[in-house]
Chain A
Amino acid sequence: MIKDYRLFWSALGLVALGGTFALLSLGYPLGTLHRMGPGFFPLVLGFILAGLGLVILLGAGTQTLGAAKVAWRPLGFISAAILAFGLLIGPFGLLPATFVAALLSAFADASSRPLPVVVYSAVLTAGVWAVFVLVLGIPFTAIRGVL
């Protein structure tokens, strides 16, 4: 009898996580209570977490969290922006990566319009250059091959 699947799966996840850590801990020397080895503390923690997960799991039968509203639009655009930043900064430098990431993340808001977003991203890119390169002096390649 499961009333709330989010509670159910998250609690099951906790049990699994605790169990995994406890299992992995057995691979390290446990030591004794007197001289604890590296495996002792995580083993105990793993058991505690699995136990807590089980108690929370019981609640999934009677409780509900209400309908979940997943913010798909921000999830998609902002994840893409962060990945784009990471992928572009190496080969192209800080400024192109910033510009593209700003462009992508701005569209997480449904009311964003292309032209203001381009202007905004350009301003933000200039700001990043001013703050991180000019003021803080962090050694970034601004634009590979140019700056």
Chain B
Amino acid sequence: MESEVLIEARGLTRRYGPTVAVDNLSLTLRKGEILGLLGPNGAGKSTTMKMLTGNLAPTEGEVLIGGKSMHDDAKAAKRSLGYLPEQPPVYPELTVDEYLRYCATLHGVAKANREAAVDSAKRDCGLTEVGSRLVGNLSKGFQQRVGIAQAIIHRPPVVVLDEPTVGLDPIQIREIRSLITQLGQNHSVILSSHILPEVQAVCGRVIIIARGRVVYNDSLEATRSDRFRNVRVGLRRAPEQSALAGIAGIKSVTALGDGLFRCSCAAEADPRDAIAEAATQGNWGLYELSAETHTLEEIFVELTSGDDVRSAA
């Protein structure tokens, strides 16, 4: 059974005068999914997130959060939403406890549950120690944690995080990642990031945006799969390049120097067995043989720095 759709965006377009920041972007997110939003600077990630959270009205298109339209029933839609913008929206003159209590109140947490909500949010974000300190006196990393705590305090079904791990130390990054993973089990999470390994570590699905358009939208499983196009071969006593190219399943060979070769494979072929066999027979001294999988980084670079992007820009 398909789980319920929590975020649905249809044909979102946002123009700033003649500039089109986001162009006809659609996305759907189901319960229990963690979606990574990737893109080069200025691609429209933050604009998209602002539109999803009702901070910016789309020029065209509509957003549904938990089935409620952000345009027609904004209050109901926002009730199931937690949002951490690029800059944590904190009041420096309040203490962490006061601030989080206010956030809980604003998001309609009943008075009886407010303290418990504040406590659990503080625990999740590692803020228990600093509860009575002024937000303005905390370091950037701690303020970022307060921002995350604010987004999850009312345990919303949908959490939108704009670069949540900026300014955090490595240990805290790991904790926040595991928190996001944990949130992703019962909630839907959208997060944007520049850090590809982070997206790979926590997200189930990734959308890459370039120039305001979705250029890639697939589950991360696809990037982890066995599909590959290149095989890297290291030989101590390398033969002529043509000898390698002659092996069945190999389309072309590029020498990388020091006995390393990159063999690009014919479609759907796996020439690794054949290479190993040929290497043993020819006594080539095989020391490395690995498939170059299509990593997220390759996809990202390929899609966002292609010629069409540059010519359009």
Q: Is this pair of chains taken from one and the same complex? A: no
